[in-house]
Structure 1
Amino acid sequence: MILGAVLMVVSGGLLVTSQALLARYEGAVTTEDLFGEGDDVKPRESDIKGPLNILLVGIDPREATQLPLADSIMIMHVPAGLDRGYLFSLPRDLLVEIPAFPKSDYRGGRDKLNAAMALGSRVPGGGNPDRAKGFELLSKTVTNYTGIQRFHAGAIVNFNGFKKIVDAMGGVVMTVDQDVVYSEHLKPDGTHRPNNGCGCEHPYYGPRAKYTKGTHKFKGWQALDYVRQRYGVKDGDYGRQRHQQQFVKAMAQQALSKDVLTDLPKLDRVIRAAGESLVFNGRGHSVADFGFALRGMREDAITMVKLKGGTVRNSSGGYAGEGLQPEAKQFFAAIRGGTVDAFIAANPEMVNR
């Protein structure tokens, strides 16, 4: 679901394929001030050096007047060699301390992680939400929780663009790891299920799209719908995170396949759709700079990391959110200390297959 990691890898591959196509990709990417540093920020160095941490956020396609929701949050950690990466998700319902943010008149408090995007996007005095400031508060919240002090780049991916990328590639092949997953929102033909207006947690009714265990070639709407399911999925949101990571890997494999890279009209459609779906900030570096820096990385060098967690109850015993297990803090410490390779080698059960 979060395509930023794939886009970084693909752009590196494109550098040795077609400079003209890469220029079209970069020209389609929207750049915004996601870290609150101003428009005149300059790169600290001319060359990008590792280790790197990249924050990737997927948002729902919503009206301009609606607060954006961080539906999926991932971090790509790239060790100093810049030839491999570790991709992990943070639960959207993770209970965290969200710091005060004067830019949106937010005083700070304890809430679910995905709320930070909406809370930071509010414009004092009214006006359409500011997604860049929402990302800024989300990044500060993630920094406080993980101890990762600096994100070297950030990206927002809109799900409408996501579907266009998959369709531009002619679909994507991936494996469904559960017997049957029923869609909460869509019918078997991809249209929306009716809403009964009850105001309840599951207001939709009628026939549902389903995804059976095995290998399938998904259209854009199918891929997006499948990786967004969490109700009825084993392990709930943690299962959904696993499916998202599986999709990122499948997407990378197909984007770098000969079927795409040697078909220049298809490649052009893919990179333009990718660029149009992406809002990027490289703290003074362009998406092409990062693509060049990561040119030695391939999809089989991206390790998907799973962080186990569980339900947090409130004082009345009701659901309050999610909390990660202590091993997550050890993993974050390994990122800060530059020892992720050794940590994962010693904890192979944390690798998502």
Structure 2
Amino acid sequence: MTLGSGLTRRRWLLGALLLAAIVLVTAGGVVAVRLAGDRGAEPGAATPTASASPSPTTAAPSPTASSPSPPPGADITGPLNLLLVGVDTRVSVPGWEPHADAVLVLHVPRGLGRAYLFSLPRDLLVDIPAFPKAGYRGGRTKLTHAMSYGSRVPGRPKQPDTAQGYELLRSTVSGYTGLRIDAGAVITFNGFDRLVDSLGGVDLYVDQRVVSRHRQPDGRHREPGAGGYVGPQMVYEKGSRHLTGWQALDYARQRYLTGGDYSRQRHQQQLIRALVRKILDQGLARDPDRVQQVTDALGDTLVYAGGGRRLVDLAYALGGLPADRFVLVGLPGSSVGSGGAYRGEQLTSVGRRFLTELRAGRADAYLSDHPTLRVKA
């Protein structure tokens, strides 16, 4: 496919970098990205509510002899819903079923001039639909298990399929939020250091003191010991900080801190926006050499597959998204117990109502009435 002028190509590369930033920050790097166009019903997929976002798959205009070819993704006008999933790092262990450690949804309304990024708790209690492909009969349990249950391949107990697990997780998230998922990514720790370092690091306001369970102050991994890790620990003090690649990745992983997983969700979102802002502030769209440098740094850590929209289409469509209209939303939740035992998490009524208002196109008004839902940069 011909991308046209150098400006067109640079804009698509910038869009790709923005998409990469969103995907990579969530858990560190891409192992597989499944772009699902959702042009029709999916086997095992939950049916969205009547107010769910429609699929952005209108036909592209056909070029004529007197008009140039339209740019990639010219027919994508929104709304778009992207599902970003960070899987458990132990997927490298033979037979280990992937768990969804981070589940984020990026909603881009019609016009593609604004975006809302929110997280769903990994332990959120949800109804997971039956998934015959994996032999799963359905049930109510933690959201993180949708990935692992869906990844099971009958007759191959030691060979879980992460892409298949994503299918069940996508259906589960769609059913819970009422949003039709147009594209998605399954990601794990890999390649993120190179992306951040190629940008010269990232500037971030650390909003609470964070002590690392995984890294020493010099960046080396802490040694496993009885009951956890041992050795000196890297500490991220509160305040404005400049983080290198390994520091940014390590900071975004920590959840054993005040606020637990909800704080980790907030930190991941803050890091995503800081990285996107870094890309835009450096003017990469006007510097093709820097774009190429960053793209080369990513190497083969971005792997795209699936039968839906191509990366070039989505990346170009998102390339014009203003950084100051990238809204981070923190959905409040609380724990659920039974007989004194912890069962999982549930969103509060304020958090659940946000999803209703988002589908109806009233997110800005709702956030104005509930300003504490906005996550500060």
Query: Shorter chain as normaliser: what TM range?
Result: 0.7 to 0.9
Aligned residues of 2:34 and 2:306 also touching (Cα < 8 A): no
* Greater mean deviation of Cα atoms: 106-115 or 273-282: 273-282
2:217, 2:203 → 1: CA distance? 18
Residues 234-292 of structure 1 deviation map (CA, whole Å, 9 limit, x = unaligned):
21111111111110110001112226555544422323445743455686221221222
Residue of structure 1 aligned with 2:164, choices 106, 115, 133:
133
CA distance, structure 2, for counterparts of residue 291 and residue 160 of structure 1: 21
RMSD: 2.9
Equivalent position of 1:7 in the other structure: none
- In the alignment, the residues of structure 2 paired with residue 324 and residue 289 of structure 1 have an alpha-carbon distance, to the nearest angstrom, of 34
Which deviates further from its counterpart, 16-25 or 269-278? 16-25
Q: 1:184 aligns with which of 203, 208, 213?
A: 213
Corresponding position of 1:195: 224
Among 252, 267, 290, the residue aligned to 1:227: 252
1:213 to 238, 250, 261: 238
User: 2:59 corresponds to which residue?
Assistant: 45
Secondary structure class of the residue paired with 1:75: strand
From 190, 205, 209, the counterpart of 1:175: 205
Distance (whole Å) between structure 2 residues aligned to residue 289 and residue 143 of structure 1: 23
Q: Determine the C-alpha separation between the residues in 2 that align with 1:308 and 1:280.
A: 33
TM-score for both structures, normalised by structure 1: 0.83
Match of 2:139 among 109, 116, 119: 109
**1:95-145: per-residue Cα shift (whole Å, max 9, x none)?**
212111111111222221111111111111115221111111111111121
Contact map agreement 1:117 1:137 (CA 8 A) in 2: yes
Partner residue in 2 for 1:294: 318
User: SS where residue 195 of structure 1 aligns?
Assistant: strand
Residue type matched to 1:113 in 2? L
Aligned to 2:189: 159
Residue of structure 2 equivalent to 1:323: 346
CA distance in 1, matches of 2:12, 2:169: 35
Measured against aligned partners, the alpha-carbon deviations of 1:164-192 in whole angstroms (never above 9, x if no partner) come to: 211221211111111x2111122222222
Distance 1:60 1:15 in 2: 39
The residue aligned with 1:10 is: none
Give yes or no for contact 1:158–1:277 (8 Å, CA) kept in 2: no
Q: Is the 8 A contact 1:30 1:276 kept in 2?
A: no
CA distance in 1, matches of 2:344, 2:129: 18
Distance 2:123 2:348 in 1: 14
Q: Give the Cα–Cα distance (whole angstroms) in 2 for the partners of residues 308 and 24 of structure 1.
A: 31
Alpha-carbon distance, 1:337 to partner: 1.6
Could you tell me whether the CA contact under 8 Å between 2:214 and 2:222 is conserved in 1?
A: yes
Alignment correspondent of 2:301: 277
Cα 1:300–1:281 change in 2 (3 A) is: farther
Whole-Å Cα distance in 2 between the matches of residues 129 and 175 of structure 1? 39
Residues 93 and 112 of structure 1 are in contact (CA less than 8 Å); yes or no, is this contact kept in structure 2? Answer: yes
Change (3 A) 1:50 1:260: closer
1:37-72, Cα deviation, whole Å (9 max, x unpaired): 69xxx9553311222211111224431733222221
Relative to structure 1, the CA distance from residue 224 to residue 292 in structure 2 (aligned partners, 3 Å threshold; closer, same or farther) is: same
Aligned to 1:335: 358
Q: Is the 8 A contact 2:121 2:262 kept in 1?
A: yes
Matched, 1:58 2:86: yes
